[in-house]
Amino acid sequence: MKKNLVKIIVTLIVLAVAIQLVPYGKDHNNPAVVAEPNWDSPETKALYDTACADCHSNDTIWPWYSNIAPVSWLVQHDVEEGREHLNTSLWGQQEIETDKISEVILEGEMPMRVYLITHPEAKLTQVEKDALAQGLLATFSR
């Protein structure tokens, strides 16, 4: 029994080291910012930067754990998916569903719960959610 436990532990350690060699999620060079929206107010921009920009812009701040697989794979996936849906660093190059953005903010779907675990500052009060949703509507409808 003890030999099996040692084999399992050694195997897990070898796998943990080996998956660090998988390149997905290792390139944390943010693409260039092409253009940004003309924000309706500094408050909207500040709320957006706090709660949204890591996944929805090219100004992602990559935390230390984004270098450790398999977490790095999840972080990279979330950023890629977020940028695909909305990337304010590519302003004018994406079609934006403004109503949908407000809806996911007001319903608490964004920021994602998994993001809030390590970014508690991104947890918005209802007043902040309302202000962000209104500010984004104003910004994106310009």
Q: What is the pLDDT of residues 66-101, one digit of tens each?
A: 888 899 899 999 999 999 999 999 999 998 888 899
The answer to whether 69 and 22 are in contact (CB under 8 A) is yes
Give the DSSP letter of residue 110.
Answer: S
Long-range contacts at 107-112 (CB < 8 A, ≥ 24 apart): 110/51, 110/52, 111/51, 111/52, 111/55, 112/78
The answer to whether 92 and 35 are in contact (CB under 8 A) is yes
Does the pLDDT of residue 23 top 90, yes or no?
no
Query: What's the CA gap between 70 and 17, in Å, rounded?
Result: 11
pLDDT for res 133: 97
